[in-house]
Structure 1
Amino acid sequence: MINVLFVCLGNICRSPMAEAVFRHQLKEQHLEDRIAVDSAGTGDWHLGKPPHEGTRKLLDEYGISYDGMRARQVLMQDYQSYDYIICMDSNNERDVKQLFGTMSDSHAQVFKFMDLLPEQASNDVPDPYYTGNFDEVYELVSEGCKRLIARIGAEYSELSK
């Protein structure tokens, strides 16, 4: 099983949206039994809360489930548990790398979500908690998740079998 973790600040807007969209796309491609996905936040303000109302509303519009999703914080053991740790912005990436420090007992790839979308001008997925623009985030997340599936497929040839 390949494990993917999306990380944002509070784990109520961007990373749960990415988790839900990615899970939906995996199901469409019949890969949900080969790739597992979760999300977490670097902060602890929203622990145990469901995704933000704006995220839920948008996911409902697209018929994408977020059932059972609750905010959690990134944990040290995530570094050993996940193959891909994808940070929604530069600050999240810095915080995650600082948390994991010099741990060397992992094969996890830690990178920014926008690395999947190099043609975009921004290095960061904008935070709709502050901007209110959940549609913009959905568009980025939807395309980026498609590219992540392709990237994982290229790195793990057994997925195409």
Structure 2
Amino acid sequence: MKHYHILFVCLGNICRSPMAECVLRHLASEAGVGQRIIVESAGTSGWHDGENMHAGTRKILTKHGISHLGFTSSKVKSSDIEHFDFIIAMDDSNLNDLERLFGKHPDKLFKLTDLIPESGYSSVPDPWYTGDFAETFRLVEAGSSALLKKLELV
């Protein structure tokens, strides 16, 4: 039985990527495949290393009954390319940073919105700037569901 190691990446690792980490873990657990997925998140900047996720992220996760306990922000490491089956960026800038670090690996490195082309979004908007955590949650949830389908886990 295949197991997957997934890393979600955004700029600061306090809004979008921790939201995706928690949402995918929750959806996988609800689908009865939680033991087959290890999910983590990281930021390209390291600006918030050691911090908790943004209060807006915690609030929207709590609203949807999704646990966010035990999270600590961290920066992407050069060894991550070896440890993760998929490294999923939230926007073009994140993807470009990852490709500079790891090289191009289109089957392994891609944007979350690539999984949901019908959304009309080319990236997941950063609620740090938009303030719209609900919009980010909708896209993260849709992308996470699409990922579970891509991995043939649901």
> Would you say same fold, with TM above 0.5?
yes
**TM-score (norm: length of structure 1):** 0.90
Q: Deviations over 1:78-135 (max 9, x none)?
A: 1010001100000000000101137x8xx96100111011012221100000000000
Shift of 1:56: 0.3
Residue 148 of structure 2 is matched in structure 1 by 149
**Equivalent in 54, 59, 62 of residue 57 of structure 1:** 59
1:127 aligns with 2:129: no
Q: Which residue of 1 aligns with 2:117?
A: 118
Amino acid at match of 1:62: H
Structure 2, unmatched stretches of 5+, are: none
Does the residue aligned with 1:69 lie in a helix, a strand or coil? Answer: coil
Question: Gaps (5+ residues) in structure 1?
Answer: 154-158
Q: Which amino acid aligns with 1:58?
A: I
**Equivalent of 2:32 in 5, 30, 33:** 30
Identical positions, percent:
47
Q: Contact 1:2/1:35 (CA < 8 Å) preserved in 2?
A: yes
Distance of 2:129 and 2:103 partners within structure 1: 29
For each residue in 1:24-53, what CA deviation from the matched residue of structure 2 results, as whole angstroms up to 9, or x when unmatched?
Answer: 001001111111100000001100111100
CA distance in 1, matches of 2:148, 2:120: 22
**Pair 1:94 & 2:93 matched:** no
Flag as ranges the 4+ runs of structure 1 deviating above 6 A.
none
Question: Normalised by the size of structure 2, how large is the TM-score?
Answer: 0.94
Distance 1:71 1:108, change over 3 A: farther
Query: Secondary structure at the residue paired with 1:38?
Result: strand
Q: SS of 2:7's equivalent?
A: strand
SS of residue paired to 1:36: strand
Q: Give the AA of the match of 2:148.
A: I
Bigger Rg over Cα? 1
How many residues align? The count is 152
